[in-house]
Structures are given as C-alpha cells and as structure tokens.
Amino acid sequence: MFLRMLGFVFLVILVLAGWGYANSLADPVLRRITVKMQDWPEGTAPLRVALLSDLHMQGPDMPPERMARIVEQVNAQHPDLILIAGDITGDRGLSTRQYPDAELAAPLARLLAPLGVYAVLGNHDYSRDATKLEAALTAAGVRVLDDEAVKVGVLTLVGMGDGLTGHGNLKHVIDLGKRAKGPAILLVHGPEVAPRLPRTLSVVMGGHTHCGQIMFPGRDQLGLPGNGRFPCGAYVDRGRAVIVTGGLGTSILPLRFGAPPDWWMITLGGR
C-alpha cells in the first residue's frame, strides 16, 4: 500500500513537472495597450513600442533557437521601437546549458525597428561579466543604457541600471527625468522604483517579476518577485503608467503555472 501511494505521488509530480515545462515552452502571449501622454507633440503620429524582458536564455527551455523564433513574432508586428528590460541571460542551477555572450546576442541581432533596439541589464546579467555581455549586445545592434538618456524620435528614453544588484544610480536617473523635455519614459528591470520618479517620466516599462512564474490562486508559491506593488500587467500610479511584462524565460525552475510567457506592444500617443 505504501509503495502504491509513493508511486502515485511520484506520478503526480511527474505529470505536474511535464505540464509546467510545457507551459514554459508555449508561444508567448502578445499583450497590447495604448497609453496617451499629455505632453505628446500635437500632430505627431503614435509610436508602437515592443517590450520584452527576462529572456533568460539558458537550457533547456530557452535556447537561442527558440529566442530566434520569438524574434520573428516580434518583427511580424512591425514595432517602431524595441525595448528589452533586462535578464538576457540566466544563472539557474537547474539548467542544461549556459550560452556564451555571442550566442545570447545572435538572435537579438535580427530584431527590426526603425527607431532601434535598446536594453538595460537585469540582476541575472551580473552573474557573468556584464561588460562582455554588453559588448556582445552592442555588436548585435542592441544599445545598452546604464543610467543614460537618449532621444528616440519624439521620446526621451531613460534607461536605468539594475538597482537590485546595486548598479542603478536612482538620484542620477531622477535628474535625467527632471531634465527631459517632451514625452519621456523609463526602461528599468525592476519596476518598484516607479513611485520615486519625477512626473516627467510618465511611463515606466519593466519586467523582473515573471508574473510570479508559478502561481496558484492568491499566492506565489516559489517566492519569486511577483508579489510587489507592480506584480504584473498595466497600472496607473499617481498619473503614471507602469507596464510590467511577465517575461519570456524562467528562473529557479523551468516551469510556469498560471503565468504564461508574454511580451507587450505599447502604443504611445497623444490625447
């Protein structure tokens, strides 16, 4: 009787693991939102921004080949601008392969957007030599922003370094936001910084949370960072839009329940 019960428990665990792994391999959900910005220049056409995050390219669930297929899905939407909110790589102990920088960057070189492809680094990206990773991304046409502001069309895009690992200078980012003219947005790995920003940064885009990754009703069982102020989705925080993607890859375990991989198409325009 005991062995039969033990076998049944093992079978249930095996089925759940297979189910969760299959969920992690599913095509990402495309989510859409339109954000109207008060300081959008009159007569200027809206911009379509693709937001990706938490790629976690590592074996077995996110090899570069799978990322290349997702890149094709993104390109098919013809975004004007593509933003990547960190965690290009993963450092999961339960992985079958960790890829070198050039292999991580290769599929991202195929991203197409007339206004360019920009990224910030996330906490997992610092598990390796982040300088070399940034160099590989730059060679692939992805510009990495580290507490920097750039003009992208009518937008001022501010990219913040990863505060979770002590690489983001919030005071400097606040100063950049205050000096921004016209519509300005922040790209950051962890969205919890949003309430501390100046109102000139009227849209914040981030990831990190995985939407909990393994979610059961009302609770994040694994303690992943999906239970903060901005766990997943789109929010209005004191007039500021905060958009948090659940990401594409996985952390801790290559499993997903109740939190499918996703990415966003965000239309920015005037009122």
DSSP 161-178: --GGGT---HHHHHHHHH
Q: What's the pLDDT score for residue 221?
A: 45
Instruction: Report the candidate in 235, 245, 239, 236 with the shortest Cα–Cα distance to residue 265.
Output: 245
158/120 Cα distance (integer angstroms): 10
Contact indicator for 173, 186 with CB cutoff of 8 Å: yes
**pLDDT computed for residue 28 by the predictor:** 98
More confidently predicted of 78 and 3: 78
User: What value does the mean pLDDT take over residues 123-138?
Assistant: 96
3-class secondary-structure state, position 192: helix
Average pLDDT, the chain: 92
Whole-prediction pTM value?
A: 0.93
For residue range 196-229, list pLDDT tens digits in order: 999 999 999 999 999 989 887 655 444 455 567 8
CB 192 within 8 A of CB 209: no
In the block, which residue shows the tokens 């999906």? 226
Length of the chain: 271
In whole angstroms, what is the distance from residue 24 CA to residue 18 CA? 10
